[in-house]
Chains A and B, each alone.
Chain A
């Protein structure tokens, strides 16, 4: 897990959007898993996002016209590949996130914390390699925020994906192995550290990004300036 820190306008969201291939760099390249995504076509990008990325947003961004279940199943629905097996996975995931009975609810019938859990489920249901979270707790009360962070940590460990999280919250940052602070679009500080528990399991499967430069980074942004 990696936390992006910095003041408003320091470039956190921009960096996340670039990583998520929902925004395009004016110059430079974005490398993810060895692929220069800035060179991919729009269709390829879409498939790339669908298969390999997950998004969690500050304001949840659920599709208001779909039920919680369908929102979670969106990546499969886009593939028209929601098999019975996968339906079960979706249901299990919802149950896992404490939303077992909320699958048929619409977003406007859920609380903020519940919505964000649905969003989280949507972001991980297809087992992405990279989960991008933009202030995932920003719109939540402290209790809900903690729950989301806990879940994020759990999923990170369980599914083994890299999590890049932009945040203001020191509590959220503390849970990350690496913390990068941005200022005016540049890296100001890059600190490695032990994430603080709870729960504190062996930081195992998802530390590809942990050692800066030690391993091939999964994602890299090479840019003279990641501008705000």
Chain B
């Protein structure tokens, strides 16, 4: 659900100053009528639906995971591709530079032991060779960053000077639809919704490179793929998202949209049970209590580092970021500052009962 970012991002791209100038007050992106809406349950088919959905305005593929090497050194990683349509599909034009989709991508590694966090963002118009995606399977690339489904495994690659990600993910759960028919409601109006599915506990192996050192790692990856043509309503100013894999075999996804007063505007979630079936949660089932804010010296945003999470039917959880400072300042692409961090899940006695990723936006000036 993270990726409510995306409408804001789309905005930020086309209006480089807009997100700075009036992030929250902009009456955002009334979807152009030419785009499809996520209103009806969808006939899902894979691998086709891993691919691009041209009639939707925004789409993203989100990979996060907690990995460790043989020496039990803990890492978190994120690799995300976004697609946003500047215009609906247009007639073919002679120039290969003609485009209607913009792509951007964020990659990050958290080194828990080293207490370091590195990230990079990229942006390009959709153009063969620069940024493109398949509409028949998972194959999305931005230059040499890529996420490709190949013979049952997903290859994730992002090579940078300062770090690189080269992983292969297979097995795991899902696709699991994040709402009945895949419709994931984002607000009170029916068209405020997206199509959203996840794949969790993807068995991941590969290499992370950081500070010139290679780490052979393994662990679990959580993948989200979401597409929609709609966005936040005007008074939705930020959100919090949790993707947690618990030791008891359940996966828990929770998101909360905050309004300008800072209150929960919309709250929802899903429990993916060990057998892979989802149990959808409503606002009544969830309660969140943030605490211990960390103020980013870079952006001035104050991100809570510890959350008390209560879900009806589950025992009380504490979600705590593994290190502070897992903030992305995406100057090269979206110009949105957000926190996307590896997190531990603790029970009431303080024992580790799971791990996952925590995303927080809208805590500062460049919130969305």
Q: Do chains A and B touch in the complex (CB under 8 A)?
A: no
